[in-house]
Structure 1
Amino acid sequence: MPPFIETHIIQNIAPSNLNRDDTGAPKDAIFGGFRRARLSSQAQKRPVRRFFRESRLIAPQHLGLRTKKVMARLSEMLLTRGREAPDNAIRQALAAIHMKLDDKGEAQYLLFLAEDELARFADLIDRHWDALNIEADGKKSKKDAKSTLPKEVIAEASRILDGGRAADIALFGRMLADLPGANQDAACQVAHSISTHAVERQFDYFTAVDDLATPEESGAAMIDNVEFNSATHYRYAALDPLKLLANLQGDEELALASVRAFIEAFACTLPSGKQNSFAAHNPPAFVGVVLRQKMPINLANAFEQPVFPQRDRALSALSVERLAHQEKTLAQAYGEEGPWAVLDLTGAWDAGGTAVVKLADLAEWAARQAAERYAARG
């Protein structure tokens, strides 16, 4: 089994509602018989992807887009090439990969496509413009629409969806229902975070006053309440560097940049729900990275018995202490004592490893571990 680069985070988050359920309440879970605060894995991955783009840790051409608006994106690209009214040509080209758009030009489900894949589709349409720019029959089935296309267009279109060396697609994978051959297994697994302690739901009752109210009008113009919680979270992700390299088509430089970017982005981001109301911008107190040689190990069971507050100890420090104890116990039992590097602001970690003082150093340490694995492949 290949090695894994794991990230373990202890993060105390102020009152907030970062990730809510269908009722507007903060997501939670029962763990160890106690209610815990929870952040879903999907809610943690999207801000990582946005951080890649906004911080420019990864070049835009090596990122993906999750969208139904394929027509709009390809139209923009083709208009810059002087191709007017490209809708029919786009529909014909997409029919080559069994993808049919609705009347609004949107896909039937969210697609996760690399910028490079979209650019190559635009190039395909541009080069075969005359053959593709014919009136499409919206009543045709996907099979019938495909049968009218030149064979060279079908062959080339089928080769385009190869992941496009997009770092976020390589990390988090994708599934295309109509094109199983274009599916990509994720190189990175992200756990739902849980609080290290039990939580209770809390409610913020609030009112709002009409700024244009007359002196005769008293009281609030609006009354409502919102649920929130505050919790120390344990967050975990496991990254397979060899799978990442394969997904990126053997591009080692991009794979190492993706490892660095993921470590930094995962530590620096949180879901953004109701942040205008709560502004819970609280960086982690502990970020640890470890190289596992045999199997990934999620240390959440360190908190099966909830951590309980102590008057003279911070919950984050108590949680780091519990995490270190779990690591030492499992490492000895399963022979997984792989090297650690830690950024510990609590001073409570006592399970060894290389101490760093900057997150960038931690990301670089993780990249070196991946580079050594790549070199060992021969």
Structure 2
Amino acid sequence: MSLFLEFHVIQNFAPSNLNRDDTGAPKDALFGGHRRARVSSQCTKRTIRLGFKEHQLLPPQNCGVRTLKLRDLLVERLCARPADEAAMKVEAVLSAAGLKFKDDGNTEYLLFLGDGEVSALASMIDASWDEVVVSAEKKSKKDAKAGAAGNLGKKAKALLDGGKAVDVALFGRMLADMPAVNQHAACQVAHAISTHRVEREFDYFTAVDDRGDEDSAGAGMIGQVEFNSATFYRFAVLDLNKLLGNLQDDRELALAAVHAFTLALARAIPTGKQNSFAAHNPPEFVGVCLRHAAPMNLANAFEKPVAPRRDESITEQSVRAMAAYKDKLEAVYGSHEDQWLALDLSGQWPTGSGAATKSLQELADAVQAVATKALTEKG
């Protein structure tokens, strides 16, 4: 039985530059023939991952790390061993497992590993210390790989099982050199787009030299920053069955992940240029739907952009437009088993559209309860 948790968020941001492109301008996109503000899915996922740690929503052992410096990370865990020797032995074992290293000791691409995987690798290398023979004079990758004794490479690869890291289970990973340890994501995150059309604005700024000469009349620095202000529609969907499988059928951890994800998603505010704009604006609406057929992204509610009005905010109009589009879509594609929960500060979500909650914590508790029941009924 398919079980999807959909997350629908309406969030208005004050003037800001939350997620920049290669020119430093706020990211945008064409949608419905109109220019929209955009925050990339990658940006949102990283903010959620950081939120797990910042707000201590998950134990450290159930979080992952994305890094090029796996060798250095393992050397830190092997602190009782000589650092130079540990570095060579770590690289020897991981090379035998199939990973490739650059001359500076970094891996060729970013690795996404659970804390449990890193700990298991360190323990295995420490326990097999004398089996890994590496020439102190010949440190080439070929020599290192040849010096890795026995089946240590296979053992290392076998330890890369996700390590019950929730963020790895949610967002997946791909290791080009070791496809056997790839993990398909349990969560999909859409690019957030504004519900209305936007125009870029420019902030021309100057900076004064506090110790400038008396005859210096000009500024010590001038420049400009692009920014915008937008009400975003954000969407993410979580496959409960896939999440449970990725977490090695640990039901308690999967339900804790659902609770943590609900909190982290709602609190996810990108950090781009926040020292300049301080756009710390939480969502006005967070809706969660347990879907039994197929996920439904409601972005097309805004294919025709919301237009500003004097008597009503764009946020209020956006929530109402999304609710109307939800009803139209569900009449055709929905299931009678679908179940909505909502945290609505706009006052525009229909009272008959699922259970209303009064706080984010209450919403997260309710989502976890719904997921618990769904997984229990699944068997």
Provide the TM-score with structure 2 as the length reference.
0.96
Residue 308 (1) aligns with residue 317 (2): no
User: What is aligned with 2:217?
Assistant: 218
1:1-378 to 2 correspondences below 5 Å: 2-79=2-79, 81-85=80-84, 86-135=86-135, 137-141=138-142, 146-336=145-335, 338-350=338-350, 352-378=353-379
Shift of 1:339: 1.0
Q: Deviations over 1:101-131 (max 9, x none)?
A: 2222110000001111111111111011112
Moved more, 148-157 or 287-296: 148-157
Q: Deviations over 1:211-236 (max 9, x none)?
A: 01122110211110010000000000
Shift of 1:78: 0.2
Shift of 1:150: 2.8
Q: Is the 8 A contact 1:96 1:158 kept in 2?
A: no
Q: Distance in 2 between matches of 1:294 and 1:90?
A: 46
Q: Which amino acid aligns with 2:190?
A: A
Q: Deviations over 1:4-36 (max 9, x none)?
A: 001100000000000010011000000000000
Q: Which amino acid aligns with 1:344?
A: D
RMSD: 1.4
Shift of 1:377: 3.0
Q: Deviations over 1:336-365 (max 9, x none)?
A: 351111000010011611000011111112
Q: Distance in 1 between matches of 2:199 and 2:83?
A: 58
- Match of 1:237, SS state, is strand
Q: Distance in 1 between matches of 2:332 and 2:241?
A: 26
Q: 1:272 to 1:42 in 2, by over 3 A?
A: same
Q: Is the 8 A contact 2:12 2:232 kept in 1?
A: yes
Q: Distance in 1 between matches of 2:227 and 2:124?
A: 50
Shift of 1:38: 0.2
Q: Is the 8 A contact 2:342 2:355 kept in 1?
A: yes
- Match of 2:229, SS state, is strand
Shift of 1:165: 0.3
Shift of 1:151: 2.8
Question: Percent of aligned pairs with the same residue?
Answer: 52
Q: Is the 8 A contact 2:18 2:274 kept in 1?
A: yes
Q: Distance in 2 between matches of 1:112 and 1:122?
A: 16
Q: Deviations over 1:265-316 (max 9, x none)?
A: 0100121100000000000000000011000000000000000011010110
Q: Distance in 2 between matches of 1:226 and 1:249?
A: 47
Q: 1:336 to 1:220 in 2, by over 3 A?
A: farther
Q: Which amino acid aligns with 2:71?
A: M
Q: Distance in 1 between matches of 2:371 and 2:163?
A: 21
Shift of 1:333: 1.1
Q: Distance in 2 between matches of 1:369 and 1:116?
A: 29
Q: Which amino acid aligns with 2:87?
A: D
Question: Any unmatched runs of 5+ in structure 2?
Answer: none
Q: Is the 8 A contact 2:172 2:186 kept in 1?
A: yes
Q: Distance in 1 between matches of 2:30 and 2:153?
A: 50
Q: Distance in 2 between matches of 1:63 and 1:343?
A: 27
Moved more, 286-295 or 93-102: 93-102
Q: Deviations over 1:166-209 (max 9, x none)?
A: 00000000000000011000000000000000000100001111
